Homo-oligomer: A and B are copies of this chain.
């Protein structure tokens, strides 16, 4: 199913702004912020406002084209939905990020399904803690 079909089937409309936002997310390497996206879109369409970017990201997320993640700051990161799934470990001491491989996520998810019958999305929010390097350096 093409983008046009998917959008059409959902009752949404295919606007230039929406195409440009999707394009910017798909071209991005990883985890871009809304402002990153706005900047890229403005190169071709300078009049776009922040709310249009946010609303289009939300619409494209509903359609399954993009996803967002929260690291430990208050900025939302966006990426294409078809990239490989992974979680994030963020160190509250040095700010460093580590990717969590799907098997570890799956093992943790299984436990939550068993105990709470809750289907978790462990890639949605980073797990905060202390990374191996900072753990090995007790003070400082």
Interface residues of chain A, those whose CB is within 8 Å of chain B, are 70, 74, 89, 91-92, 98, 100, 104, 107-108, 111-112, 115-122, 124-132, 135
Asked if A128 contacts B124 (CB within 8 A), the reply is: yes
Task: Answer whether A129 and B135 are a contact pair too, CB < 8 Å, given A74-B74, A111-B108.
Answer: no
Q: How many copies does the complex hold?
A: 2
A121–B72 Cα distance when bound, in Å, is 12
A115–B115 Cα distance when bound, in Å, is 22
Asked if B111 contacts A120 (CB within 8 A), the reply is: no
**Chain B residues with CB under 8 A of A100:** 112, 116
* Interchain nearest-CB distance for A127 vs B (Å): 5
A105–B16 Cα distance when bound, in Å, is 46
Give 8 new A-B contacts, CB below 8 A, not counting A70-B125, A98-B116.
A89-B116, A104-B116, A112-B129, A118-B135, A120-B129, A124-B129, A125-B125, A125-B128
Nearest chain B residue, comparing its CB with the CB of A128: B124
* Main secondary structure on A side of the interface with B: mixed
Asked if B98 contacts A104 (CB within 8 A), the reply is: no
**Chain B residues with CB under 8 A of A124:** 128-129
Asked if A92 contacts B121 (CB within 8 A), the reply is: yes
Checking B104, B120, B127, B128 against A89 with a beta-carbon cut-off of 8 angstroms, the contacting residue is B120
* Interchain nearest-CB distance for A76 vs B (Å): 9
Most interface-central of A91, A92, A100 (chain B CB within 10 A): A100
